[in-house]
């Protein structure tokens, strides 16, 4: 028996069966991620239009990007979506989680209601809100007209700055439920004896929140902040269905800009913009990861 086990172990060590088992996943990863990624990097330095052969043009695509006013507008919008979306979805998510953890009656139904938008497609969510806010046949306009109060209607989607805010709010409305669940799981994992000891020492509710609950939510905060940065800065579906980048191109994100350039025969330029978007997202994600990691170690 001992000799048979020894042979089996030696066989596995000699042929590396655990490496062999990993081989299909590695092949799939390289085929569908690494190879297209490397091809995209090379494509960014060409003038490829998607059909003809690629001609190497160096940094011309990147230089043109910084002279393209439409691209700069898309960068500004992307940063706005990233900052406002990440901030609001996490602040509101924490507040909702605290409410769900408060022990109030009916929190189960309320939790379902708040999480429900998360399971709806972003494209459908955008169309729903467009149907509500539209200046042509929207629900709000029709309701105000029936009440004789049409003068109170405001075309939120027709004003660039207001349309950007609407996109952010729709993004928050859809994604806050998922963040709430993660924060709620973190709150419910806190040892009740720790909270009770703090109460016996005279800590009130704000002190419990600031000195105990929030520091112990660092792990949940790290997950939600990083995923929120990536999600809000690469927002696409909601914009397409809600404003389609309009009015004009004033609400267009870099993701939508890349899509439009690639379908307009500017595959090389769109690949260069995709690389720039990757860098724009990577910087705040790396900073947030380092900051959250430092907070986690300190706590």
Alpha carbon distance 13, 20 (integer Å)? 11
Alpha carbon distance 188, 210 (integer Å)? 16
What does the pLDDT read at residue 233?
94
What does the pLDDT read at residue 161?
87
What does the pLDDT read at residue 5?
46
SS3 46: strand
> Cβ contacts of residue 208 below 8 Å, gap of 6+?
195, 198, 199
Task: Please list the pLDDT of the chain residue by residue as tens digits (299 residues).
Answer: 444 444 445 545 555 676 778 888 888 888 888 888 888 899 999 998 888 888 899 999 999 999 999 999 999 999 999 999 999 999 999 999 999 888 778 788 888 888 999 999 999 999 999 999 988 888 998 998 889 888 888 888 988 889 999 999 999 999 999 999 999 999 988 888 888 888 888 888 888 888 888 888 888 998 999 999 999 999 999 999 999 998 889 999 999 999 999 998 899 999 999 999 999 999 999 988 888 777 655 55
Alpha carbon distance 283, 233 (integer Å)? 12
Task: Give pTM, 2 decimals.
Answer: 0.86
Per residue, what are the HEC states of 51-117?
A: CCCCCECCCHHHHHHCCCHHHHHHHHHHHHHHHHHHHHHHHHHHHHHHHHCCCCCCHHHHHHHHHHH
- The token duo for 258 is 């890349």
- The token duo for 161 is 């700055």
- The token duo for 233 is 């800065």
Q: Which helix (H) or strand (E) holds 19?
A: helix 17-29
SS3 1: coil
Could you please report the per-residue DSSP string of 196-264? HHHHHTT--HHHHIIIIIHHHTHHHHHHHHHHHHHHHHT--HHHHHHTTT-STTTT--HHHHHHHHHHT
Per residue, what are the HEC states of 121-168?
A: CHHHHHHHHHHHHCCCCCHHHHHHHHCCCHHHCCCHHHCHHHHHHHHH
Alpha carbon distance 195, 27 (integer Å)? 49
Contact yes or no for 46/268 (Cβ under 8 A): yes
What does the pLDDT read at residue 2?
46
What does the pLDDT read at residue 246?
85
What does the pLDDT read at residue 295?
67
What does the pLDDT read at residue 13?
53
Alpha carbon distance 78, 231 (integer Å)? 11
Alpha carbon distance 271, 268 (integer Å)? 5
What does the pLDDT read at residue 23?
85
SS3 190: coil
């Amino acid at each position: 028996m001992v000799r048979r086990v020894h042979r089996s172990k030696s066989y596995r060590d000699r042929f590396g069966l655990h490496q062999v088992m990993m081989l299909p996943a590695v092949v799939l990863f390289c085929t569908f991620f690494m190879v297209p990624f490397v091809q995209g990097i090379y494509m960014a330095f060409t003038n490829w239009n998607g059909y003809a052969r690629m001609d190497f043009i160096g940094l011309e695509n990147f230089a043109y990007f910084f002279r393209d006013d439409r691209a700069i507008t898309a960068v500004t919008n992307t940063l706005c979506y990233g900052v406002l979306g990440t901030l609001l979805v996490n602040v509101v998510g924490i507040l909702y989680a605290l409410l769900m953890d408060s022990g109030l009656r009916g929190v189960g139904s309320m939790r379902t209601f708040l999480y429900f938008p998360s399971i709806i497609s972003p494209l459908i969510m955008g169309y729903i809100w467009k149907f509500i806010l539209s200046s042509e046949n929207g629900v709000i306009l029709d309701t105000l007209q029936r009440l004789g109060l049409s003068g109170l209607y405001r075309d939120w989607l027709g004003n660039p700055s207001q349309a950007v805010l609407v996109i952010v709010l729709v993004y928050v409305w859809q994604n806050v439920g998922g963040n709430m669940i993660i924060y709620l799981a973190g709150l419910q994992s806190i040892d009740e004896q720790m909270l009770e000891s703090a109460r016996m020492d005279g800590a009130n509710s704000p002190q419990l929140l600031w000195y105990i609950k929030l520091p112990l939510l660092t792990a949940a905060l790290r997950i939600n902040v990083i995923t929120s940065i990536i999600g809000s800065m690469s927002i696409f579906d909601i914009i397409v269905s809600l404003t389609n980048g309009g009015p004009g191109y004033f609400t267009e994100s870099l993701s939508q800009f890349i899509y439009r350039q690639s379908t307009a025969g500017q595959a090389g330029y769109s690949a260069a913009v995709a690389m720039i978007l990757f860098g724009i997202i990577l910087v705040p994600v790396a900073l947030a990861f380092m900051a959250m990691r430092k907070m986690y170690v300190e706590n």
